[in-house]
Chain A
């Protein structure tokens, strides 16, 4: 079982905090879609014929695609791969794109899951982020999608930025609960280098993010969603039973995936590779029949560390038995030994040969993972 990710590198405008690869220049959109098809063909053997169980259109803003363009790409995938009947096929969408026409178009495709970039239900927050939508569109887009028959919807929310009071934060969470959204991904505002936000902060035009606030709002998020029956199945992901994201979960389970499009990453179990993050160069190279990528081979230790990093973030935890069997007993022992300090602090729970983060521990997931790293 494997997954396919397709990167659609176009946006209407640039959100101040975003460091994904995208362009606001749409001139080459048609050419780029042609190139995506070409890349699918060139990479058809990458997954060794494994059955495709999830497909994910990410971005950028995949909702800028027309229904027919989505179909072209999905048809191509179906021609080249065996896709399970009940495959999870997700489209990331921005609320401002999801008008009645677009939703109807998408309903005609095989897309069966929406990931809507809500971020906030407050206009001032959305403006501060330089999002393309407003608060009204945020809410109405969800309702339109539901009315059109889409049940499997996940929404993104951001917390931990200066404008977001705890009161507003609680309201944002509550709005999604009230709309009966079954899955929420939520991220602490991270200031990535070389973003507009980073520049504003450096020039002191914006205050820096506040760690205290972020920690507090993360704890609020966990409390509210757990109270409402969500499983906190990964640090940034909450879902009701039966509605967890299969595609993303597979990243954390170490399954193979093929990434198509500029900047997309692929993993075949032994190496990772990533395409060039430049639309023009991507198109040009594919025009010459080549895929422009860089690759790294993973050593066993690197694979182990990736397992430590990703598994600790999930509710399934870090399985020491699995480490012992796949990598060797000395590593499972070293991990447990290093984890002792965190177990004593109750940041990590040790149950049935597995390590889990406690709610407090989740605040320090990176720190703990880094400490546990072998090497």
Chain B
């Protein structure tokens, strides 16, 4: 155990985490440069394209220093706030962390919040100044930031470059020297922390764990504490480039277990693996991952509902964090109300449905999860869907989730960032200068406000120089309303949204304007109304079609014209009818991207 080093990497997107990790793997001869796919740790296509690690992974390296064999377990962490719980569990499995900071960009919000998490878990931090090869590197300035942040000595910071390989030897040395070996009771009852799981279509769910106490052997009868389920450990092993079966994984080490589990939801990150016949206690810190953002997902073609259901089930097999239940909409037919960890997660699911299952879907206006309390009996109702919102007359009060948001930006952009956050109903709780030019702003704001277009706006107003991170801080009372959209008096359920009263007028106006643009002119006039209850708050009109194009039609026109009219007919077939009005799919999608 004394020669095991468990560590993770904390870095902002694009600060070079994956490239530097690859250098470590090469240096320890875990892989050769030749068979390294660029950035090995990110092995989902989607991850590689987006340049971020969505799901965490782990890999074991062996290295000999001064005649001693060391085992390094690198536990990779996802780089996005949507997956912060998984990050916290990965961190909990480590004794040390490499803090990678881009020498040309400095510390970002994401880095800070993960760093705090690591410090909370008493991880030893090895600060690394990466991308030293870049002409724009400002090592002295960024070193100042790091020293301020973690209170280390200046010379503890290792200059490095994933590209040139600079500093890799120093990092290896620091891992051995500075990161403490894990501690635990080899003879105690088994307690292994699950920090990740992956889906394999042949072997089922493979859980990754770190043994805190005791040991786990092949064919052990094990129990997952939170789910209460028992399995036989069909295979245990360590995570090399490929899985390497072992007969035992001992205290302090990191490994995997295959036990014939078919569904991802049986393996919960943060859960404890123990033995049936000498059970240990649950490791503290387990939480059920709760979806934060909800939206309807509907097949573009109503006939594809069953196919969509199957695709969703398959997705859930390897991503237990999505939840869904059937819902139906008068406008869109049958679909699912889905819960996601956040907006990125929602986008990823949408993209995976498209890429892996060829399913194009319509997503409805997303909302967060609200709590409604009834006047009668103070009954609490969870509202994940605009249609769940009880009649206002029977409501005592509604609460909405709040977040604490950390934003780090250049001093120049403090003004615009402040006004954006205030516009989003945020209140500032702290403002501190990290350096003379970099400011950290801390806000409390409703989570519902970041669901729409917060990231995009923040990026725009800060010209890309703002990083953002948040965590939930509980529920607060809110003046929430349901805004409905009516076309010629008929409500279009798929366009309803839950929104704070103060935003309703503006949002309603924008939706009406957008719909006016997107609804094709029909044989009659269409009134578009946004309303709260019976009160109309915005209105637009699409005039009746006065004339269709009736251009010439001679010998050379017939083919083209026929195709045009066929296309028109085809497009109409795919429109959804509400009352007498036909709505193109683009209208349902476009309300997600107003402005």
Set of chain B residues within 8 Å of A302, measured between Cβ atoms: 562
* Pick from B523, B546, B550, B559: contact of A366, CB under 8 Å: B550
Q: What distance in Å separates the Cβ of A94 from its nearest Cβ neighbour in chain B? A: 17
Set of chain B residues within 8 Å of A248, measured between Cβ atoms: 554
A306 to B565 alpha-carbon distance, docked (Å):
10
A132-140, A163-171, A225-233, A257-265 - the one binding chain B = A257-265
Contact bitstring A342-373, B, C-beta under 8 A = 1, else 0: 00010000000000000000111111111101
**Interface presence of B558 (CB below 8 A):** yes
* Pick from B546, B550, B555: contact of A212, CB under 8 Å: B546
Set of chain A residues within 8 Å of B562, measured between Cβ atoms: 302, 305-306, 309
Counting contact residues on chain B (CB < 8 A from A), the size range is 20 to 34
* Pick from B547, B553, B566, B568: contact of A313, CB under 8 Å: B553
List the B residue with the shortest CB-CB distance to A341. B523
On whether the beta carbons of A367 and B553 are closer than 8 Å, the reply is: no
Asked if A190 meets B551 with Cβ closer than 8 Å, knowing A212-B546, A373-B569, the reply is yes
On whether the beta carbons of B546 and A272 are closer than 8 Å, the reply is: no
A375 to B562 alpha-carbon distance, docked (Å):
12
Set of chain B residues within 8 Å of A274, measured between Cβ atoms: 556, 559
**Interface presence of B549 (CB below 8 A):** yes
Q: Which of A188, A235, A248, A309 has the most CB of B within 10 A?
A: A309
On whether the beta carbons of B566 and A375 are closer than 8 Å, the reply is: yes
Q: How many residues of A contact B (CB 8 A)?
A: 44
* Pick from B558, B564, B569: contact of A310, CB under 8 Å: B558
A212 to B523 alpha-carbon distance, docked (Å):
14
Q: What distance in Å separates the Cβ of A169 from its nearest Cβ neighbour in chain B? A: 15
On whether the beta carbons of B558 and A272 are closer than 8 Å, the reply is: yes
List the A residue with the shortest CB-CB distance to B561. A309
**Interface presence of B552 (CB below 8 A):** yes
Q: Which of A185, A265, A345, A366 has the most CB of B within 10 A?
A: A366
**Interface presence of B545 (CB below 8 A):** yes
List the B residue with the shortest CB-CB distance to A21. B556
Q: What distance in Å separates the Cβ of A341 from its nearest Cβ neighbour in chain B? A: 9
**Interface presence of B548 (CB below 8 A):** yes
On whether the beta carbons of A251 and B547 are closer than 8 Å, the reply is: no
List the B residue with the shortest CB-CB distance to A371. B569
Q: What distance in Å separates the Cβ of B350 from its nearest Cβ neighbour in chain A? A: 31
Set of chain A residues within 8 Å of B572, measured between Cβ atoms: 370-371
* Pick from B547, B548, B558: contact of A306, CB under 8 Å: B558
Contact bitstring A257-292, B, C-beta under 8 A = 1, else 0: 101000111010000101000000000000000000
A187 to B552 alpha-carbon distance, docked (Å):
7
Total of A-B residue pairs, C-beta within 8 Å: 100
Asked if A309 meets B565 with Cβ closer than 8 Å, knowing A188-B549, A211-B547, the reply is yes
List the B residue with the shortest CB-CB distance to A209. B549
On whether the beta carbons of A236 and B552 are closer than 8 Å, the reply is: yes
Asked if A265 meets B569 with Cβ closer than 8 Å, knowing A309-B561, A363-B550, the reply is no
On whether the beta carbons of A366 and B548 are closer than 8 Å, the reply is: yes
Asked if A265 meets B548 with Cβ closer than 8 Å, knowing A370-B568, A370-B569, A375-B569, the reply is no
List the B residue with the shortest CB-CB distance to A237. B552
On whether the beta carbons of A363 and B523 are closer than 8 Å, the reply is: no
Q: What distance in Å separates the Cβ of B302 from its nearest Cβ neighbour in chain A? A: 18
On whether the beta carbons of A265 and B556 are closer than 8 Å, the reply is: yes
**Interface presence of A74 (CB below 8 A):** no
On whether the beta carbons of B565 and A259 are closer than 8 Å, the reply is: no
On whether the beta carbons of B555 and A251 are closer than 8 Å, the reply is: yes
Set of chain A residues within 8 Å of B550, measured between Cβ atoms: 188, 235-236, 313, 362-366
* Pick from B547, B552, B555, B558: contact of A5, CB under 8 Å: B555
Contact bitstring B102-127, A, C-beta under 8 A = 1, else 0: 00000000000000000000000000
Contact bitstring B75-102, A, C-beta under 8 A = 1, else 0: 0000000000000000000000000000
On whether the beta carbons of B558 and A251 are closer than 8 Å, the reply is: yes
A367 to B571 alpha-carbon distance, docked (Å):
13
Asked if A263 meets B556 with Cβ closer than 8 Å, knowing A367-B545, A369-B565, the reply is yes
Contact bitstring A300-322, B, C-beta under 8 A = 1, else 0: 00100110011001000000000
Question: What would 8 A/B residue contacts be, using CB atoms closer than 8 Å?
Answer: A190-B551, A248-B554, A306-B558, A309-B561, A363-B548, A366-B550, A366-B565, A371-B572
A-B interface, 6 closest residue pairs, ranked by CB to CB distance from nearest:
A215-B547, A370-B565, A367-B548, A265-B556, A366-B548, A363-B547
